[in-house]
Chains A and B, each alone.
Chain A
Amino acid sequence: MSGVLSIVQNFLSGLGRAQFFLLQVLASIPALLLRPRLIVQQLYYVGQLSMVIIVLAGSFVGMVLALQGYRTLIRFGAEESLGVFVALVIVRELGPVVTALLFAGRAGSALAAELGLMRATDQLSAMEMMAVDPVRRVVAPRFLAGVIAMPLLASIFAVMSIGIAGGHAIGVELLGVDAGSYWSQIRGSVELDDITDGLTKAAVFGFAVTWIAVYQGFHAEPTSEGVARATTSTVVISSLSILALDFILTAFMFK
């Protein structure tokens, strides 16, 4: 019983520290906006460098969805609705969720490892001694870049999986679904709400993943094991948080 209590206590105190850290980061953002170069630089690292993995994953997920959807829909003679099937699944669910999981693995782990190594090699302490606040100079630009990058990456994921190399390539080019039906049914059935819901999810996931990554990295123990633990925790906690948040958000968005 005392073991369970101490786990709960540790969890709550960790959550409290993480929230306090988040407040520090958020308080640094107004000053950061005066130095857009720092944000653009981090957008390149967390966003642009995650593009390849997002484009490839989006294409494959779209292709698989098209194959599976076609197999089921053709039994009812409804293969013309393949576009709607792929688009709704991607826009509402898989786009934000898979992008966020990949983002946690690619950018989240990199952020945690980078900050952890900066801690282990005294770079953060050196900044403090140079009277430079590392939360403002190092953490806040990375955090903001992550929050901005995630909805953009989710959008690219959706474009790739529904169109270009995903659902369209398999459904229309390979399986022979009529291109007009594929796209017109998407236009008819996907509403603005679906898109805003998807983008909201992506933004919330981006917020959560980047928060977890910068917190874990910044507070990593300054040893090799500490950095490894921070990186692993980032990916594990982020992935579980994404799935839990997805359920909560979907429940609220469900009409």
Chain B
Amino acid sequence: MNASDPVLVRARGVHFAHGPRVIYDGVDIDIPRGKVVAIMGPSGTGKTTLLRLIGGQWRPNQGTVEFDGVDVHTLRRGALYELRKRMGMLFQNGALLTDLTVFENVAFPMREQTRLPESMIRDLVLMKLQAVGLRGARDLYPQQLSGGMSRRVALARAIALDPDLVMYDEPFAGQDPISMGVLMRLIRTLNDALGLTSIVVSHDLQEVLSIADYGYMVADGKVQVQGTPDAIRQSDHPWVKQFLKGEPDGPVAFHYKAPAFATDLLGDAR
């Protein structure tokens, strides 16, 4: 671990395309150590893709993604898996293993990755569940949990191995105000208490900016705006303005690309 480098994750000149669709067209992003960084942008702009690129699940067409000074995509499988032990990821739907209880889900990475005795795993799991307020739900199965509870269990699982980095994929999507508040407080508190670095991908701009130290707004394959939460809120960039005000039209067009309306209606009669 190269703790002298203040940047934990460094993406440089990242190009990534899904078939003909360009997701990233030369993106530079720095994730400073110990901070909560928000990655914002409209749906479908590749916010989740960034997390998969950092985790090495997908490979950029060009450019590099470094984690703690190591280029993620030059690693062989074994080394990549070693690196992933230092990352935790909370998927949008929780991605809990449905045939395991809450307790077993949180214990899963410990049982797979360590040789700790069962008594110690039990204590650690209860500590992680206590941190997310779900120690009492340890014997429930994922299908018995609400959406917010699932994400909290997934969060407990993501921090099970005490990672350096936790990545949150749309943690607030579809949550009621109480669950959203709980998750926001948890992300900030855990980051500070455990000395983590957090990346929160979200399109809930106000909420994510309220807990972030720094933010990137990604759209059209590029970083459109970046800065502290206050700087982003005060930005008069059209992307930010449309997003903050929830305007239906702007850089994100209301109408999907189509030929002229008159041409469509009149067709050959014109």
Which residues of the partner chain B approach A133 to less than 8 Å between Cβ atoms?
81
Report the contact-size class of chain B (Cβ under 8 Å from the partner): 20 to 34
Whether the Cβ atoms of A126 and B95 lie closer than 8 Å is yes
Which residues of the partner chain A approach B92 to less than 8 Å between Cβ atoms?
122
| A125 at the B interface (CB under 8 A) | yes
Whether the Cβ atoms of B84 and A121 lie closer than 8 Å is no
Partner of A123, one of B81, B89, B97, B112: B97
| A5 at the B interface (CB under 8 A) | no
| A130 at the B interface (CB under 8 A) | yes
Q: How many residues of chain A get a CB closer than 8 Å to chain B's CBs?
A: 13
| B4 at the A interface (CB under 8 A) | no
Interface of B is mostly: mixed
Which residues of the partner chain B approach A125 to less than 8 Å between Cβ atoms?
52, 57, 91, 95
Knowing A130-B108, A130-B109 are in contact, say whether A123-B57 is a contact too (CB < 8 A): no
| A173 at the B interface (CB under 8 A) | no
Bound complex: CA A125 to CA B157 (Å):
14
Bound complex: CA A122 to CA B112 (Å):
18
Whether the Cβ atoms of B55 and A129 lie closer than 8 Å is yes
Bound complex: CA A61 to CA B112 (Å):
45
Bound complex: CA A126 to CA B150 (Å):
14
Which residues of the partner chain A approach B157 to less than 8 Å between Cβ atoms?
130
Known: A121-B93, A127-B97; 9 extra A-B contacts, CB below 8 A, are A123-B96, A123-B98, A126-B95, A129-B87, A130-B84, A130-B112, A130-B161, A131-B112, A131-B113
19 A-B contact pairs sorted by A residue (CB < 8 Å): A121-B98, A122-B91, A122-B92, A122-B93, A122-B95, A123-B95, A123-B97, A125-B52, A125-B91, A126-B89, A128-B57, A128-B84, A129-B88, A130-B108, A130-B161, A131-B109, A132-B108, A133-B81, A137-B112
